[in-house]
Amino acid sequence: MKPLDPRLLRHARAARRYIALTTVLGLASAGLVVAQALLVAHAVAPVVDGDAGWAQVAPLVGWFAVVALARVLVTVVQESLAHRAAADVVAELRATVLARSVALGPRGPREPSEVVTLVTRGLDDLEPYFVRYLPQLLLAATLTPATLVVVAGLDLGSAAIIAGTIPLIPVFMWLIGVLTQRFAADRLVAMQRLGAQLLDLLAGLSTLKALGREHGPGTRVRALGRAYTRTTMSTLKVAFLSGAVLEFLASIAVALVAVTVGMRLVYGDLDLTTALAVLMLAPEAYRPVREVGAQFHASADGLAAAEQAFAVLEQPLPPAGTRPAPAFGGLVLDDVGVLAPGRDVVAPAGLSAHVAPGRVTALVGPSGGGKTTTAMLVLGLLRPDSGRVLVVPGGGREPVDLAGLDPESWHAQVTWVPQRPVLVPGTVADAVVGESGEVDGRAEAAARASGLDEVLAALPQGWATPLGQGGTGLSLGQRQRVALTRALLDPAPLVVLDEPSAHLDAASEQRVLDVVAALREQGRAVLVIAHRPRLVAIADDVVEVHSSVREPAVAAAGGAA
């Protein structure tokens, strides 16, 4: 990523306002720095030479105090704007990256766990970039040239030394930055691996606990933690060493100016006022460039995260249909095949099925055969690499290709119940009937049908029981009943269930079977991914889903897609 990447301005409007304001403040700061140095020089030099007393220089001292106060105020305003802009830009990038990841679907460029790490801890590292690095970068583009112009007007020889030595600092910064960028990218990858491992561990902790294997993943987590620590320490080592190199270069450059000014002052080739002004302005010319190098390391992690965020935002979206979805009258899977990512396998392969209203269609087959991928096809989240998914309109009209339908209008006709239902924070009533939270007779009847009434009876606040993120406060089986109750209330004509009886005991499984039967009695089309024999037994149609080795024709179709 460039020091000021145009993509940041394109994807984050808050960054544009901040950069404009910071540029204005940088120009003001440059003027104040120059004014401060000239005021000090003109106030001190006459007193030292014996040409003036306090009465003559008092106004200059007063103006110096005003300029110094103004410089402090500019710094305070800039810091305040930087923190606010950092929060706004990070929030904006988080929202856009999440929205883009959702639009890209389940086969996006990054794993969900990587996106979670990126939009949380990763983008948080952008704050040092906005608060420390970017202001110094803009000061280097304003204060350094302004200072150099003023010094050239005072003493051309000192200006030549400054102009000749300043480029050395960016050259060394670039050399060091190349190395730092690699360490920062390695650190972000290590953090994403650690985050992904922890998310997987937390998601499956109850299963590991039940099997007595909860201590097994600890070794892997510790190894990832040590790898993250090593990459962090490597970045810090480079930061400390490069900071020392930049300080050394800047100090040598200022010393060259000071020595030449001092020698010329001794021999009478330079007056004291000019010498003092040049000596005070020389460090100010180097300071922004030096600070850019020092703060680059603090922002390197944020820049690496921003680079990944831009990679997600610039990923082209799959083509979406625009035709409104017709009233649902059935669904046909016509010889569909999907290339499995990272594997030389088609899963599912050559799948044909008919999902009709008032019937239960069960997808069975070995793990990895493509059952969940088939559900993604039906939901419109994936497109087949071969074959078609056809929607049969009500009234016996010609089937239409799902790929050409507007996703929003199609999703309005589908209810999706995953293995692990997603529940947003709120109450049980909110999770079942929506934000209104109004529980009527239909909701009570659906709760009795799914067995949720038994769960509510055991909860201290019943329908008003608060739930945390992901349904915290309920067991997996209880969350499943909440999701099934919601499916019973949803009027969508197509219901897709992903192994709804997984991880449930026999009594809870019977409740699931009752709900599936109730959905069928309502005249709705039910597509269920099934492993347990009892769930397969109540299905009207059983479809075997299998995978196969990729064939050249399918591979060519996938490459074209």
Per-residue pLDDT tens, the chain, 561 aa: give them.
566 677 877 877 778 888 888 888 888 888 888 898 889 888 888 888 777 777 888 888 899 899 999 989 988 888 888 888 888 888 888 888 888 888 887 766 666 777 877 887 778 878 888 777 888 777 778 888 888 888 888 888 888 988 888 777 667 666 666 656 666 666 667 766 766 666 666 666 666 676 677 677 777 777 777 777 777 777 667 666 666 776 777 788 888 888 988 888 888 888 888 888 888 888 888 888 777 766 766 666 677 778 888 888 888 887 878 899 999 999 999 999 998 876 788 989 999 999 999 999 999 998 888 898 999 999 988 889 899 999 999 877 889 999 999 999 999 999 999 888 888 888 889 888 887 768 888 899 889 888 888 888 988 888 988 888 777 788 878 888 898 899 989 889 999 999 888 767 787 788 889 889 989 999 999 999 998 899 999 999 999 999 888 755 444 444 433
By the 10 Å C-beta count (0-12 exposed, 13-18 middle, 19+ buried), 341 is classed as exposed
* Element holding 420 (H helix, E strand): none
Peptide bond into 348 cis (omega under 30): yes
Residue 121 within a domain = yes
- Identify whether 246 is part of a domain: yes
Report pTM.
Answer: 0.64
Indicate whether 275 and 333 sit together in one domain: no
Cα–Cα dist 457/448, whole Å:
11
The answer as to whether 204 is a domain residue is yes
Q: Does 153 fall in a domain?
A: yes
**pLDDT reported for residue 391:** 94
Closest to 137 (Cα-Cα) out of 299, 247, 279, 304: 299
Closest CA to 495 of 515, 509, 511, 514: 515
**332 phi/psi in degrees, rounded to 5:** -125, 125
Element at 275 (helix H, strand E):
helix 272-313
Asked if residue 262 is part of any domain, the answer here is yes
Same domain, 355 and 230: no
Whether 305 is in a domain gets the answer yes
Last residue of a domain, one of 313, 348, 365: 313
Q: Are residues 91 and 135 located together in one domain of the fold?
A: yes
Instruction: Supply the CATH number for residue 419's domain.
Output: 3.40.50.300
> Considering the domain boundaries, does residue 321 fall inside one?
no
Same domain for 78 and 129?
A: yes
Domain boundary among 313, 340, 371: 313
Amino acid at 399: P
Please give the pLDDT value at position 13: 78
User: Angle of helix 54-104 relative to helix 134-154, nearest 10 degrees?
Assistant: 150
pLDDT confidence of residue 316: 85
Please enumerate in sequence order all residues whose Cβ is within 8 A of that of 35, keeping only pairs 6 or more positions apart, or say none: 67
Q: How many domains does the chain have?
A: 2
pLDDT at residue number 557: 42
Residue 283, Cβ neighbours under 10 Å: how many?
17
Domain harbouring 225, CATH code? 1.20.1560.10
Residue 322 domain-assigned (yes or no):
no
Based on the domain organization, do 243 and 387 belong to the same domain?
no
Q: Which domain holds residue 473?
A: 328-560
Q: And the tokens for 199? A: 């998310």
Same domain, 300 and 347: no
For 380-416, letters b (16+ CB in 10 Å) and e give: bbbbbbbbbbbbbeeeeeebbebbebebeebbebbbb
Is there a single domain that holds both residue 234 and residue 341?
Answer: no
Which residues pair with residue 498 across a beta bridge? 529
Residues 19 and 136 in one domain: yes
Residue 554, pLDDT score: 42
Q: Residue 352 has what pLDDT?
A: 93
| Residue whose entry in the numeric block shows the structure tokens 């087949």 | 384
| Domain limit, last residue, from 280, 313, 346 | 313
- Are residues 415 and 304 part of one domain? no
Q: Is residue 306 domain-shared with residue 333, that is, in the same domain?
A: no
Mark whether 338 and 302 lie in a shared domain: no
Is residue 386 located within the same domain as residue 486?
A: yes
